[in-house]
Amino acid sequence: MAATKEPKLTMLERIEDFIFDEELWISVGVHALKILFIIVLAAVVVRVGKVVIRRVFGIKLKGPLRKDARREQTLLRLLENVLSYVVYFSAIIAVLSEFTIDLKGILAGAGVLGLAVGFGAQSLVKDVISGFFIIFEDQFSVGDHVKIGTAEGEVEEIGLRTTKIKSFTGELTILPNGSIAQVVNYSVKNSLAIVDVTIPFELGIEKVEKLITAYLTEMAKNDEDLIAAPRLVGAHDFTDTAVIERILAETKPMRQYEVTRKISIGLKQYLEHQGVEIPYPTLVTKLNEA
């Protein structure tokens, strides 16, 4: 007895079977819900993580040094970006797994590609890693006055790959972070202003020293750049006609030049007001009479 042949389905019947396939739509709905859950969970984790990071940076740490606001913002943005990259990358991997895509092959290919890029751009990888640790370890920050090799000036920008330093005269030096081996940061610790005052012997050393001490004590009350009252160290050197007295003043970072200028000008005006004239070199021109 010949077997009966099943009737072939028409295109319309196939479409109807596809549309009304209950198991298919249940499977699609489950996968869609899982993908939606993964996306929502990733967004929530990123948002909550950023809030936590900002709360942590909002806590004012007690210590002898106050953190610069720009330094905090740099590290804050860096951590937020790292959090977003890690969470969203994990979410993409989870979503791809819902489509039954072979992740092992993709990850293996990415690993080989990353290895090739690593060998071809070792200096770039070194710069990025060094830049991350410069920011994370707070070695220096935007606005700090630093000296790196032959470059000295104010840090204008810190990136993961390069650091930009603007000198006092306006030149901009761009340094790869991987080449930074030694940094002198002048903005972390307090600075020291040094002022030398020449006092002729005939003015009376003890009298002038008392006047200088009185001026320095009064000056410290109104100058915000000073950490403590400047102190008169005493005789630092001698000449044939005078003694050179040295004044030391502890100042806020990189404010020593301004304090030095204020002490020099203010002290001269104060001594003149007290009737003490500090002599200065003069040039006398003598004309021969015909």
Fold annotation for 191-273: Alpha-Beta Plaits (3.30.70)
Determine the Cα–Cα distance for residues 223 and 77; give it in Å rounded to an integer.
Answer: 36
pLDDT at 4: 52
Whether the CB-CB separation of 196 and 267 falls below 8 Å is answered with: no
172-176 and 183-185 beta bridge pairing: unpaired
Dihedral in degrees, nearest 10, Cα atoms 43, 90, 96, 107: 160
221-242 pLDDT per residue, tens: 888 888 888 888 878 778 777 8
pLDDT at 64: 43
Per the rule left: phi > 0, alpha: psi between -120 and 50, beta: everything else, 6 is: beta
* DSSP SS3 for 154: strand
Least confident of 2-6, 125-129, 257-261, 267-271: 2-6
What six digits make up the tokens of 286? 């003598």
> Mean of the per-residue pLDDT values for the chain?
76
Whether the CB-CB separation of 163 and 149 falls below 8 Å is answered with: no
pLDDT at 1: 47
Determine the Cα–Cα distance for residues 160 and 162; give it in Å rounded to an integer.
Answer: 6
Mean pLDDT of 117-133: 71
Structure-token match 């990259």, residue found: 85
Give the orientation angle of helix 256-273 with respect to helix 205-219, to 10 degrees: 130
Give exposure, 227-264, as e/b (b: 16+ Cβ within 10 Å).
eeebebeeeeeeeeebbebebebbbeebbbeebbebbe
DSSP letter (8 states) at residue 153: E
pLDDT over threshold 60, residue 285? no
Most confident of 11-25, 67-81, 169-183, 224-238: 169-183
Q: Is 140 exposed, middle or buried (0-12, 13-18, 19+ CB in 10 A)?
A: buried
Mean pLDDT of 153-166: 83
248-265 pLDDT per residue, tens: 888 888 888 888 888 888
H-only helix segments in the chain: 11-19, 22-58, 69-98, 103-120, 122-136, 205-219, 256-273
19-60 pLDDT per residue, tens: 666 676 677 777 788 888 888 888 899 899 888 877 877 765
In CATH, which of 2.60.120.10, 2.30.30.60, 3.40.1190.20, 3.50.50.60 is domain 131-185?
Answer: 2.30.30.60
pLDDT at 92: 82
